[in-house]
Amino acid sequence: MRIVITGAGGALGRAVVQAFADRGDAVTAIVRREVAGLPLAVRQIAAGDLNDPAGARSALDAAAAALGGGIDALIHLVGGFEWSTVEQSRPELWRQLFSDNVETTLGTIQAALPWIGDGGAILCVGAASAQPAGAGMAPYATAKSGVARIVEALAAELKPRNIRVNAILPAIIDTPRNRADMPDADSSDWTSPAAIADVALFLASAQARAISGALIPVTHNG
């Protein structure tokens, strides 16, 4: 399969890239800047903000060209997070999280669709914390709810082309960044990037051909 993965430089992105490369897929990784440690066969495409339509088109056009002129599955992992109570939150934060999550998803998908053939797959990242939203999670949960609505609507819109659109909903991912940010938290229930990557492998595969428009929690301590 020909796979494009955005946000490939983060801990989750690296795990997802590795999983698809290990399966033998042709993988193009879209990153902020070239990163060390990805499999040598993976082509890296440096891109700016994917919330900019022109930038997203440039990145996805280059990714599709690197894969021979088409995309079988788009795995969109780019997003942003910040904790803030409603009372203390600033309008700028709400706009930033909307841009980081909703606008990047929209820009990336719109840029990728001309390259995705019938029968392809799109996978996005929502958040298990989006419904219900806990204390301090309203700005982030609102943005991730927007991603979920894109997934649901797009799955219906692309059904005639048999392009499946789904989202995974992680809780806390066991990454070095999260461990550093929450040094006193109990990480025993956090989900490993490798376990989430396994779900991405399945949802992009033919074995998941009956699943579209789904919002799938990936919250077990895998």
For the chain, how many structural domains are there in total?
1
* C-alpha to C-alpha distance for 199 and 71, rounded to whole angstroms: 19
Here the CATH number for the domain that contains residue 109 is 3.40.50.720
Tokens at residue 11, please?
């801990």
Contact 128, 219 (CB under 8 A): yes
The residues near 13 (Cβ < 8 Å, ≥ 6 apart) are 5, 6, 7, 29, 31, 77
For 96-109, the pLDDT digits (tens) are 999 999 999 999 99
For 145-174, the pLDDT digits (tens) are 999 999 999 999 999 999 999 999 999 888
**Length of the chain, please?**
222
Any idea what the Cα angle at residue 125 is, between residues 105 and 4, rounded to 5°? 65
pTM flag (> 0.85): yes
pLDDT at 67 over 90: yes
Nearest to 209 by CA among 120, 115, 117, 114: 120
Instruction: Residue 78: give the domain boundaries.
Output: 2-218
